Structure formats: C-alpha cells, structure tokens
Chain A
Amino acid sequence: MNIELYKNLENSFGVTSLEVKNRNQSYIRVKKEMAVPLITHLKLVESYKHLSFFTIIDQIEKGEFELLYMLHSYSRNHDLGIIVSIERHETDMESIHHLWPAAETYQRELREMFGVEFPDSPGLYENFCLEGWEGIPPMRREFDTKRYSEDTFYKRPGRETNDPAKYMKEKIYPSEAETW
C-alpha cells in the first residue's frame, strides 16, 4: 500500500495499525464512527471502486465482532481490507448499500448469521438462507452447532469418527504406527 495514502487516511480518518500482507494486499483498522466516511472516501476519491466481500469475524475472546470490508482498486491493483471492531452487545452498524447496492445482500446475510443490524438497509429482514430461524444466529461462536444438530436432526447410529492425521498415518505407514 502506498505509504502516502496511509498517512493521509491516518490524518483525516484516524486509521490505525497498517498491516501489509504483500505487495497487493494490506489491512487497516478504523473506528466504528469513521468507517463509512472512510469507505466513501476510498470509493469516490481513492479509486477503491470494487467491494470484493464484506464479512464478520466473531472475536468472542475480545467480546467484539470484526467487520471486514474488502475493497479492490483496479488502477492500483491492490486489495485493501478495512477492519472495524464493534461490541458484541452493540450490534448496530451503518449500512453501505448506498455505495454498492450489492452490499444489501451481504448485510442481509450478516443480519441472519450474526445478528448484526444494519438500519435502513433494504430487505434486511428477508430470508437469506435460513427460513424462519429462531434463537441465536448460527454463526456466532457461542452457538453450539453440534448440539443443535443433535437436538434437531435424527442421528443415524453407528457413525465413527477418526482423527484424520492419525488415521492416515496408520493406514499408510502401518509398521511405523506401532512405535508412535
């Protein structure tokens, strides 16, 4: 990433902790209030015109969600990830559907899977994948998907599970397996 651009963003939007993964990919962090102004600026002024994806990482240990906006600039040939941390209690985030109409689908999905609300995003409460889901959104990490599956669906008895690494070793090198 262009270091000048980073300095600019640091001054005007309070961007922190630049992380350069490689020549074509870097990540920056920004406060929740400045996120949408920053993205608007990047799209309109700094040629990051393409929203590659928009997702959430559940950092349950820190008690926060990390929203990741991945932008791409064709002229710079560069991917820029903008990480915004929000509290797990305060799950409201400004919508970006006015910048990319396609973002409303992402936001619909994130509302359904993580319970993060994007006020004014069109069709936010329509079904995305789950239809008529009740209870905790399934992609949150406190949701125990195995237990839910056991409670909801009928298990077929006789299922065996092996540790893949161990199983492969035993199958491929049976003579050496005894010595481990």
Chain B
Amino acid sequence: MEKDMERRLYADTGAPEGSPVVNPDPRTLGDSSNIQLFNEQLKLLNSGLTEEDRLNFCDTPPEVIKPFRGHWENFLNWARSESLWILGFGTGCGAIELRPLMTSRFDMYQYGIQPRPTPRQSSIFVIGGYASVKTMKRIVRSYEQMQGPKFVLGLGSCTINGGMYYDSYNTVNRLDHYIPVDVYIAGCMPRPEALLAGLMELKTIIKEGRGEGANKYAENFEWYKANQKRIIKDWNMPDYNW
C-alpha cells in the first residue's frame, strides 16, 4: 500500500496532447520565507544538522569586518590584487580554460596569479561555467571556507543568466543571488585571454577598494541563505561553514 502511494507520486498518466502540464510550484514546496536561521542569541540554528553534529560546528554567523582607512588599506589592497590565489575547484566546463593559463603561452604567474588547492589559502574563486544545484552546494561550502577578503569571478554566460542552460531544471540562472560576484566574463566559452582580461579587471576593482564581496555576503547573509536554501533541498551542512 505504501509503495503504491509512493509510486503515485512519480507515475503520471501519459498526458494527452494539449492538456495543461501539471507542475508543482517549488515555491509552495519549500517556502523560503519560513526558513529560520537564528535563535534568540543570534546564533545560527544549524537546523540541517543532527543533534550531535551540531556540537562539532561553529554557530557564529559571519561578521562585517571594516577595512582600514587610508594608505594602509590601499597598500594591503595592492598586495591582495598582486597575489591572487585561485581556488582549484573547476565547477563546470569553464574550468578547462584555467589550465592554459598555467602554461607558457598565457602564464598567469607573471601577474601574481597562481592556483591553490585548498579554499583556506585561496582568495579568488573562479566559477567555471554552469553551476548546477548539486555543485552550488559545494560552491557555497567552499566559498564560505575561504578567508576574507575573497573574490568571485563568474566565467561564461551560464553564470550571468543561465546561458544555453537557462531553461534547465538544474542550472542556477543568476549566480549573484547565491554568492556575491565581483567580475563576470561573458562568452561560451570565453577564451583564456578573456579570462586574463577579467582577472586584470578584478585587479583594478580590488585596488580601488571595491572588492568587498565577503562583507557584502555578511551584510546580506539572510538573503543569500534564503536563496541558497530555496534550491538546495537536502541541507545537511552547517548554515555557515567556517
């Protein structure tokens, strides 16, 4: 009997032509406005975790850390822009464009850019192309583990508006609703030259002191979390990954 019920959920009568398509509205399935993030002490609830797991994770939300003023911050921003360490996480097909950058033809090392295998040490996250919902979960986790100031570079049209996958059930259309993005590079695929141009653009943004994505994330934490939790249905990780 139970199995019968279960099957009814999946099995649908072969819809005759012209009949209206019955589609569950995802907004009614997982209502984002009901997501509760904080308890009374303004600590994260971590409701996705089990009781004993909760003790192992930090429940402090991210904080806005004000930049220094004047020349000191300018100097630090210069150092940040001249030493960009890319997180080696190829999230989509665009990651293939990162490899030529290491080779002798494009050689990103001469601009102070190098790959780094761990999110803890890297400062720039290149989202290479489409971000599926499953990858989005990993992207959020990796992004939150990076130490601020951190920058995100959206590579390819898919990160801008979904690109050729704009109508896919599994591809995130606008990346900047889930994590703050500093630079977009349009194209499908952009060539490595375009990627280098984007990195140079990012450098000027950092030098002008506009690369405050981490603070933006902390300021609009609830909005980002609501967006993320709306698409990531099985949220079995802490609300903020330190």
Direct interface between A and B, CB < 8 A: yes
User: How far, in angstroms, from A131 to B161 measured CA to CA in the complex?
Assistant: 23
Q: How far is the CB of A9 from chain B (nearest CB, A)?
A: 29
Select the stretch in B90-98, B113-121, B165-173 that faces chain A: B165-173
Residues of A close to B23: CB separation below 8 A: 135-136, 143-144, 147-148, 151
CA distance A154 to B224 in the complex (A): 13
Taking CB atoms, residues of chain B closer than 8 Å to A151 are 23, 25-27
Q: In the complex the two chains form, is B173's CB within 8 Å of A155's CB?
A: yes
**Shortest CB distance A167–B (Å):** 14
Q: Which residue of A lies closest to B30 (CB)?
A: A134
Interface residues on A, range: 35 or more
Of A89, A132, A147, the most chain B CB neighbours within 10 A belong to A132
In the complex, the answer to whether B161 meets A143 with C-beta atoms within 8 Å is no
Interface of A is mostly: loop
Asked whether A152 lies within 8 Å of B10 as measured between CB atoms, the reply is: no
Which residues on the B side are within 8 Å of A135 (C-beta)? 23-24, 26, 29
Partner-contacting stretch, out of B53-61, B203-211, B227-235? B227-235
Q: Which of B17, B231, B234 contacts A153 (CB 8 A)?
A: B231
Min C-beta distance of B233 to chain A, whole Å: 3
CA distance A62 to B14 in the complex (A): 8
Residues of B within 8 A of A149 (CB): 162, 166-169, 171, 173
B233 touching A142 by the CB < 8 A rule? Answer: no
> Are A88 and B12 also in contact (CB < 8 A) when A134-B233, A149-B169, A152-B26 are?
yes
Q: A132-B233, A151-B27 are in contact. Are A142 and B15 (CB under 8 A)?
A: yes
- Residues in B with CB closer than 8 Å to A153 are 162, 171-174, 231
CB distance from A138 to the nearest CB of B (A): 4
* A129: Cβ under 8 A from any B Cβ: yes
Complex Cα distance A61/B177, Å?
39
Out of A61, A91, A154, name the residue touching B7 (CB < 8 Å): A91
Which residues on the A side are within 8 Å of B167 (C-beta)?
145-146, 149-150
Closest chain B residue to A139, Cβ basis: B169
- Distance (whole angstroms) from the CB of A53 to the closest CB of chain B: 21
In the complex, whether B5 has a CB less than 8 A from a CB of chain A is: no
Contact A145 B12 (CB under 8 A): no
Contact B160 A156 (CB under 8 A): yes
| Inter-subunit contact A130/B133 (CB<8 Å) | yes
Assess the B15–A136 pair: CB atoms within 8 A. Answer: no
- B137 proximal to A (CB < 8 A): yes
Is B26's CB under 8 angstroms from A138's CB? no
Residues of B within 8 A of A155 (CB): 161-162, 166, 173-174
Contact: B26 with A89, CB < 8 Å? no
Chain A residues with CB under 8 A of B11 = 88-89, 91, 115
- Quote the shortest CB–CB distance from B76 to chain A (angstroms): 33
Using A142-B21, A144-B21, A154-B177 as known contacts, say yes or no to A133 and B14 having CB atoms under 8 A apart: no
* B21 to A, closest residue via Cβ: A144
Q: Which chain A positions have C-beta within 8 A of B12?
A: 88, 136, 140, 142
Which residues of B are found within 8 Å of A60, using beta-carbon distances?
Answer: 14-15
A159–B158 CA distance with the chains assembled, in angstroms: 12
User: Is B22 engaged at the interface, CB distance under 8 Å to the other chain?
Assistant: yes
A115 to chain B, nearest CB (A): 3
Q: Which residues of A contact B (CB under 8 A)?
A: 60-64, 88-89, 91, 115, 117, 127, 129-138, 140, 142-156, 158-159
Q: Which 3 A-B pairs have CB atoms at the shortest separation, nearest pair first?
A: A132-B233, A115-B10, A132-B234
| Besides the known contacts A131-B133, A131-B137, A159-B161, 16 further A-B residue pairs in the complex with CB atoms under 8 A apart | A61-B17, A88-B12, A91-B7, A131-B234, A135-B26, A136-B24, A138-B169, A140-B12, A142-B12, A142-B14, A149-B167, A149-B173, A152-B26, A152-B169, A152-B230, A156-B162
- 20 A-B Cβ contacts within 8 A? A61-B14, A88-B11, A88-B13, A89-B13, A130-B170, A131-B233, A131-B234, A134-B24, A134-B26, A134-B30, A135-B24, A138-B169, A142-B22, A145-B169, A149-B162, A149-B169, A151-B27, A152-B230, A156-B160, A159-B166
